[in-house]
């Protein structure tokens, strides 16, 4: 399974452009959920820059989820043992900041 489909990439880039125009004041719903099957890491992604930098809620499974940036190419280069996957059934119900607030309370992403 491809990590990012063309439709998802289009939406992520559209959000990135909208946030540039609004000087970062947009709070989007995540478009993409990535996770590792065995390592407990999860990413809820709302934007993607032209050079493949993703913005979203990042949880590496250490109990400290945070909003930040991650490189798509670095995620794609994770060793196979991490089994990085896209949640094909994910549909955001909240904005990224709402997920972040909940994640801080639970010390992990709940989505």
Q: What is the pLDDT of residues 17-41, one digit of tens each?
A: 999 999 878 999 999 999 998 788 9
pTM of the full structure: 0.93
Q: DSSP letter string over 19-43?
A: HHHTTT---PPP-EEEEETTT--EE
**Mean pLDDT across the stretch 37-52?**
93
Task: Yes or no: say if 31 and 88 are a contact pair by the CB < 8 Å rule.
Answer: no
Q: CA torsion sign, 50 to 52 to 67 to 45?
A: positive
The residue-averaged pLDDT of 61-82 equals 89
Q: Is the pLDDT of residue 1 over 70?
A: no
Res 86 pLDDT > 70: yes
């Amino acid at each position: 399974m491809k990590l990012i489909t063309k439709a998802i990439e289009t939406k992520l880039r559209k959000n990135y452009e909208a946030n540039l125009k609004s000087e970062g004041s947009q709070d989007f719903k995540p478009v993409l959920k990535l996770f590792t099957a065995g390592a407990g890491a999860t990413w809820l992604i709302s934007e993607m820059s032209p050079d493949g930098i993703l913005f979203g809620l990042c949880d590496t499974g250490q109990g400290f989820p945070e909003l930040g940036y991650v490189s798509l190419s670095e995620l794609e280069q994770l060793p196979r043992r991490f089994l990085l996957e896209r949640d094909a059934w994910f549909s955001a119900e909240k904005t990224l900041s709402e997920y972040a607030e909940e994640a801080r309370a639970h010390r992990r992403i709940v989505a």
